[in-house]
Amino acid sequence: MDSPSMAGSTPLLHTPRVFDSFFLGGFECSTHRRKDGRRLDLLAATRHDQLAAEDYQAMREHGIRTLRDGLRWHLIETAPGRYDWSSFLPMLHAARAQGVQVIWDLLHYGWPDDLDIWSGAFVERFAAFAGAAARLVRDEGGAAPFYCPVNEISYWAWAGGETGMFWPLAKKRGDELKQQLARTAIAAVAAIRVADPRARIVFADPVINVVAQTPASAEDAERMRLAQYAAWDMLTGRQAPELGGTADTLDLIGVNYYSDNQWLTNGTTIARADRAYRPFSELLRETYARYGKPLFVAETGAEGEARSEWLAYIAGEVVRALGDGVPLEGICLYPVLDYPGWINDRHCETGLLGFADENNNGQREVHRELARQLAFQQSRIDALRTTGHSPMPAPLA
């Protein structure tokens, strides 16, 4: 494999420093209930809960030392205020043993069955849980922790509050759910910081682009596009300040981005070759200009044979944004393991690593093309960090 060429390089205006590795791996940890009432548990479905130590070691072997992973609130809080940490401690201990840095998701769509998500008790109970988790991590020792208290507030409000795709199965209550989740998140951040003032806080949501199909739909397109910022606006106090948000509520903004994050008002996805498609680097610049906070790509990936080429596109756009001075701190491959689909359990081939082999000590097959692309992009970013310049990519051998 060729090393990145420095020919035609441009001065870099921001050098990433926050995470232990620029490329992260994210473990799918959703625990929500589907329309049919079945609760998902993707950590169990991928056997990551059993194989955390092996999975973390595999990440290190691929140069990934920073990860996204999650706690399962519904398993831990067995009764109000009573916590059983047995599902989490092995993962926490494995992370320390393998020397990996973890951003811990505390609420990834799922909550204990005895709670009403619309209630004040939901806010109070989750804040208490978040504080208890932060105290546990603090007492176990180690470097300053990272937390994502509530994952994808805007997406959850749309899927669970506007369209009824999954619990709480509400329709036309998206704004209400978004405020409730923001209120919950703000209370959780306060509890975490009391428990461990060292904690760094991340909130992740999709960045999107919506384009009017006709002149008559221009206003609707812009309204939908700007809705991507509502949760971050609430958290930072720009919107609904009565919720208690301030600029200090979060330390980093996580942007989630996939190939279907741009569409026309009729719902048709905009292809990258289309003139209406906005380069990802533009979305990153716009998000940074709005909040002035460091960013990282908290989720990105593709399925099947598109994985390698998609990572090349994302990395190229991130390097462009870094060259413009956008403080981008990393790119998270998500999900980094293949997983069974939410709706129908189909094999979603999205990962750097595949399903665990039942007959071979849980070993996972490596997707070679993605691994090759990852190694190339890692060497590119290493050159960037070392020289302070943004290298132009050389072709893969």
**Which residues sit opposite 255 in a β-bridge?**
205, 297
Distance CA 200, CA 143 (A): 11
Q: Is the peptide bond before 80 cis (omega within 30 degrees of 0)?
A: no
Count of CB atoms situated within 10 Å of the CB of 278: 16
Q: Is the peptide bond before 149 cis (omega within 30 degrees of 0)?
A: no
Count of CB atoms situated within 10 Å of the CB of 49: 21
What pLDDT score was predicted for residue 397?
36
Q: At what angle do helices 120-140 and 89-98 cross, to 10 degrees?
A: 40
Distance CA 145, CA 143 (A): 6
What pLDDT score was predicted for residue 395?
41
Distance CA 396, CA 330 (A): 22
Task: Encode 61-97: b = buried (16+ Cβ within 10 Å), e = exposed.
Answer: ebebbbbbbbbbbbbbbeeeeebeeebbeebbebbee
Tens-digit pLDDT profile for residues 164-209: 999 999 999 999 999 999 999 999 999 999 999 999 999 999 999 9
Q: Where are the beta strands (DSSP E) in the chain?
A: 5-11, 23-26, 66-70, 77-79, 82-83, 101-105, 146-148, 200-206, 209-211, 252-256, 262-264, 295-300, 328-333, 339-340, 347-348, 353-356, 364-366, 389-392
What pLDDT score was predicted for residue 9?
52
What three-state secondary structure class fits 165? coil
Q: Which two tokens stand for residue 227?
A: 């809705």
* Residue 280 backbone phi and psi in degrees, to 5: -55, -35
Nearest to 369 by CA among 300, 311, 297, 317: 311
What pLDDT score was predicted for residue 358?
81
Domain boundaries, the chain: 5-392
What pLDDT score was predicted for residue 5?
40
**What's 157's DSSP letter?**
I
Distances (CA, A) of 38 to 162, 185, 343: 20, 25, 10
Tens-digit pLDDT profile for residues 236-255: 999 999 999 999 999 999 99
Kindly give the parts of the chain with pLDDT less than 70.
1-13, 388-397
5-392: what fold? TIM Barrel (3.20.20)
- Signed CA dihedral, 226, 230, 233, 238: sign only: positive
- DSSP structure string for 325-374: T--EEEEEESSSB-EE-TTT--EE---SEEEEPTTTTT-EEE-HHHHHHH
